[in-house]
């Protein structure tokens, strides 16, 4: 079969397989190979058909109903909630409730207290009476788990906005934090960028302690409505938790004597910080939570809803809404066009689409137009580093990320773009910026350098998930792979990254996955990177990884891992129902390690081919993406398409850039 280059998705098929690929060793392998070729063709056609006319791809980014509940609560708080939006949000939230009355934070997961409380309150706003059977079940479950008093701090902040919880019983978050210099512990740049963008506006909310009249009581969500705010015992004074809890008590007392002029100045400084970081589309950081809290904070400081900053901010929130055919309205926490586009480009080229295909050139044009060439918060720690990188979202010039930058460079390298000079300049800037963002220990985080302070996660306020951005195996692996493709295998910074990855391997042979679920994702990212950087398939670290992947392969031939592996690694590591994306990650690692002819690969490829739908897609209700490990999970709807196509393409056509390695890294630690 040959591929056309006329741009018509339906006419395109992968390039002809190499002779070695069309002469399998056994009849069984021959059947699997032919099934893989057919699956590649169907998946390729579908993915090309899903591209936007501007050149990008974007799948829905599904999280959990707290996004939808908080959107309704925001609208109630600032007085813009309307019947149509409320009805659509209620329809979605109601549809996500489980039989036991709860809401989970990921598909197939257990009921989660804070999510269930927020969903319940949102449905009360939507008009669902507390004595309705589905509401009564939820309320009973909430009371059985300790009621509102046991919810996370963020949930209780939302309730405090309406007087359903006392501000005095929430951790203090003083706006004077904005004045802390970068060398002082707990300055705002000690927090990961997503937490920083949320905490700064919340310092204003915490200082103001606003209360809007509650539209109804929530006595049914307390274990003892007469005493809804029970006092909890402090942790031992000698522990970090105990120390920070007592520090919070001191901050509560200082609040009463803090100079009012200083507090007003701090809130105004925080407001300027917020406004300076508003993106051109009105959002903040391209993610929904900071936008929500920034709108509330500015509103409390007197910015009316017709102010240009507020109008743009509110309009941006509407763009997070996904309207479904049944009239339901789902809120995305974020949108992922850059990430989806670079992954789709990699998948299509690895699956045999000609690198000069018009749709790939359009994708490259769009990615080149998304390059960020101005400084953001990352420059606080790297003031002398020239900009050059890519963010995750449509608009997020303040926070390019290292992971997207690495994958965009890998995608651009696969495309034969007519303007080679433009391409080389952009790639050069991206590589230079990525190298400059390496942390002291040799690894790479997602957004910042050396964002590893142990203190932010200890604050009583920070119980909503990870709030720092230390180096991770998956991000480091993607950078190392990119550097290898760029011919920098022997660069000392690449070698430091390789050594970091080898040191981070788990005893069982896997790697922890920070931004994907979990050990399967980490291992699927690291093994191709190490091989690209010159480690041979016989290296002990590679063999341990192969052995681990083979040991956790499911009986059906696929791979899967439940999100509970973040809390219970021994019980859940590498274990879960088979999914298309996780099976693809395992196959990408095994293929990179030279295991194409192995039984494990054959069974995995057969599972992907057998579970593909007639239209070329795969079904994947499971959440395989990660926001905060164990606390915030993501179902990237395009993962089920791009990763299986990448894995099957590499199975049929071989590993990309196989001739780029500069020889084994015998100098690497453990080699």
CATH of residue 540's domain is 1.50.10.20
Among positive and negative, which fits the CA dihedral 626, 631, 632, 634? positive
Q: Which domain holds residue 17?
A: 1-49+531-671
* Claim to verify: residue 552 and residue 607 sit in the same structural domain: yes
Is 463 within the bounds of a domain? no
Instruction: Out of 237, 263, 289, pick the residue that ends a domain.
Output: 263
* Claim to verify: residue 41 and residue 81 sit in the same structural domain: no
Query: For 449-486, how does the pLDDT look when each residue is reduced to its tens digit (9 = 90+)?
Result: 999 998 888 787 777 778 999 999 999 999 999 999 99
Query: For 234-271, how does the pLDDT look when each residue is reduced to its tens digit (9 = 90+)?
Result: 778 777 777 767 776 777 777 888 889 999 999 999 99
Cα angle 393-464-301, degrees, rounded to a multiple of 5: 75
Distance from C-alpha of 636 to C-alpha of 209, rounded to nearest angstrom: 36
* Claim to verify: residue 42 and residue 135 sit in the same structural domain: no
pLDDT of residue 259: 87
Percent helix, percent strand, percent coil in the chain, to nearest 5: 50, 5, 45
Q: How many separate domains does the chain show?
A: 2
Is 462 within the bounds of a domain? no
DSSP code, position 284: B
pLDDT of residue 4: 37
pLDDT of residue 27: 53
pLDDT of residue 257: 81
**Is the separation of the CB atoms in 423 and 368 below 8 Å?**
yes
Distance from C-alpha of 485 to C-alpha of 532, rounded to nearest angstrom: 7
* Claim to verify: residue 220 and residue 259 sit in the same structural domain: yes
Distance from C-alpha of 596 to C-alpha of 34, rounded to nearest angstrom: 15
Is 386 within the bounds of a domain? no
Q: Whole-prediction pTM value?
A: 0.92
* Claim to verify: residue 113 and residue 151 sit in the same structural domain: yes
The secondary structure of 136-155 as a DSSP string is HHHHHHHHHTTGGGGS-HHH
Distance from C-alpha of 408 to C-alpha of 136, rounded to nearest angstrom: 49
Instruction: Out of 263, 298, 326, pick the residue that ends a domain.
Output: 263
Give the number of other Cβ atoms within 10 Å of residue 420's Cβ.
9
DSSP code, position 116: H
Query: For 475-519, how does the pLDDT look when each residue is reduced to its tens digit (9 = 90+)?
Result: 999 999 999 999 999 999 999 999 999 999 999 999 999 999 999
Instruction: Out of 234, 263, 292, pick the residue that ends a domain.
Output: 263
Is 585 within the bounds of a domain? yes
**Rg for the chain, CA atoms, rounded:** 25
Q: Which residues contact residue 340 at a Cβ distance below 8 angstroms, ignoring those fewer than 6 apart?
A: 56, 57, 58, 59, 636, 638, 642
Residue 579: closest CA among 597, 554, 603, 545: 554
* Claim to verify: residue 114 and residue 157 sit in the same structural domain: yes
Point out the residues that are catalytic: 403
* Claim to verify: residue 569 and residue 650 sit in the same structural domain: yes
Which residues in the chain come in under a pLDDT of 70?
A: 1-29, 244, 248, 658-671
Is 42 within the bounds of a domain? yes
**Is the separation of the CB atoms in 293 and 53 below 8 Å?**
no
* Claim to verify: residue 607 and residue 580 sit in the same structural domain: yes
Q: Is 589 helix (H, G, I), strand (E, B) or coil?
A: helix
pLDDT of residue 64: 96
Q: Which residues contact residue 359 at a Cβ distance below 8 angstroms, ignoring those fewer than 6 apart?
A: 7, 9, 48, 51, 55, 348, 353
* Claim to verify: residue 15 and residue 108 sit in the same structural domain: no
The runs of H, that is alpha helices, within 79-192 are 83-95, 113-125, 133-144, 153-160
Q: Are strands 321-323 and 632-636 parallel, antiparallel or unpaired?
A: unpaired
Residue 331: closest CA among 318, 316, 319, 320: 320
Give the number of other Cβ atoms within 10 Å of residue 253's Cβ.
10
Is 125 within the bounds of a domain? yes
* Claim to verify: residue 145 and residue 197 sit in the same structural domain: yes
Is 442 within the bounds of a domain? no
Is 482 within the bounds of a domain? no
* Claim to verify: residue 107 and residue 251 sit in the same structural domain: yes
Give the number of other Cβ atoms within 10 Å of residue 27's Cβ.
8
* Claim to verify: residue 151 and residue 10 sit in the same structural domain: no
pLDDT of residue 69: 97
């Amino acid at each position: 079969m040959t591929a056309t280059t006329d741009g018509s998705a339906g006419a395109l098929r992968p390039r002809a397989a190499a002779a070695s690929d069309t002469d399998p060793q056994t009849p069984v392998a021959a059947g699997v190979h032919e099934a893989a070729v057919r699956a590649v063709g169907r998946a390729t056609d579908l993915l090309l058909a899903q591209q936007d006319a501007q050149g990008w791809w974007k799948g829905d980014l599904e999280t959990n109903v707290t996004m939808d509940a908080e959107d309704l609560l925001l609208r109630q708080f600032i007085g813009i909630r309307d019947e149509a939006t409320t009805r659509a949000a209620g329809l979605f939230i109601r549809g996500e409730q489980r039989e036991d009355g709860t809401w989970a934070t990921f598909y197939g997961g257990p009921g989660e207290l804070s999510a269930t409380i927020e969903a319940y309150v949102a449905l009360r706003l939507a008009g669902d009476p507390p004595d309705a059977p589905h509401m009564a079940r939820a309320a009973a479950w909430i009371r059985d788990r300790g009621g509102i008093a046991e919810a996370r701090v963020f949930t209780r902040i939302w309730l405090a906005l309406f007087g359903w919880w006392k501000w005095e019983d929430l951790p203090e978050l003083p706006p004077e934090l904005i004045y802390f210099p970068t060398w002082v512990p707990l300055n705002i740049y000690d927090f990961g960028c997503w937490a920083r963008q949320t905490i700064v506006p919340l310092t204003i909310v915490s200082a103001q302690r606003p209360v809007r009249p509650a539209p109804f009581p929530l006595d049914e969500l307390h274990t003892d409505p007469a005493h809804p705010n029970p006092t909890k015992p402090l942790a031992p004074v000698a522990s970090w938790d105990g120390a920070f809890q007592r520090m919070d008590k001191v901050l509560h007392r200082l609040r009463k004597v803090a100079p009012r002029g200083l507090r007003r100045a701090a809130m105004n400084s925080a407001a300027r910080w917020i406004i300076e970081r508003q993106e051109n589309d009105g959002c903040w950081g391209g993610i929904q939570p900071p936008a929500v809290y920034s709108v509330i904070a500015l509103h409390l400081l007197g910015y009316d809803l017709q102010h240009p900053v507020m109008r743009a901010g509110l309009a941006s929130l509407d763009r997070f809404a996904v309207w479904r055919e049944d009239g339901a309205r789902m809120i995305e926490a974020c949108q992922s066009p850059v990430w989806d586009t670079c992954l789709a480009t990699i998948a299509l080229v690895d699956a045999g689409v000609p690198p000069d295909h018009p749709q790939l050139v359009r994708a490259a044009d769009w990615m080149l137009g998304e390059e960020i060439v101005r400084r953001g918060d990352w420059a606080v720690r790297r003031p002398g580093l020239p900009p050059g990188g890519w963010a995750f979202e449509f608009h997020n010039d303040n926070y390019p990320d290292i992971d997207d930058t690495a994958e965009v460079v890998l995608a651009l390298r696969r495309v034969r773009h007519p303007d080679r000079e433009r391409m080389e300049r952009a790639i050069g800037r991206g590589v230079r910026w990525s190298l400059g963002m390496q942390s002291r220990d040799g690894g790479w985080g997602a957004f910042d350098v050396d964002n590893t302070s142990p203190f932010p996660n200890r604050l009583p306020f920070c119980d909503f998930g990870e709030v720092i951005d230390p180096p991770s195996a998956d991000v480091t692996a993607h950078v190392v792979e990119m550097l290898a493709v760029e011919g920098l295998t022997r660069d000392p910074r690449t070698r430091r990254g390789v050594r970091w990855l080898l040191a981070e391997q788990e005893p069982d042979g896997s790697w922890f996955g920070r931004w994907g679920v979990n050990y399967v994702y980490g291992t699927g990212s690291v093994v191709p990177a190490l091989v690209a950087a010159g480690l041979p398939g016989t290296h002990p670290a590679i063999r341990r990884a192969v052995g681990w992947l083979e040991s956790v392969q499911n009986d059906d031939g696929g791979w899967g891992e439940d999100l509970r592996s973040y809390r219970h690694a021994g019980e859940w590591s590498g274990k879960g129902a088979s999914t298309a994306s996780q099976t693809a990650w395992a196959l990408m690692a095994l293929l990179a390690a030279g295991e194409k002819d192995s039984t494990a690969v054959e069974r995995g490829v057969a599972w992907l081919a057998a579970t593909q739908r007639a239209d070329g897609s795969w079904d994947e209700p499971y959440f395989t993406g990660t926001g905060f490990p164990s606390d915030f999970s993501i179902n990237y709807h395009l993962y089920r398409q791009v990763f299986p196509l990448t894995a099957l393409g590499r199975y049929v056509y071989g590993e990309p850039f196989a001739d780029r390695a500069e020889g084994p890294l015998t100098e690497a630690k453990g080699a």
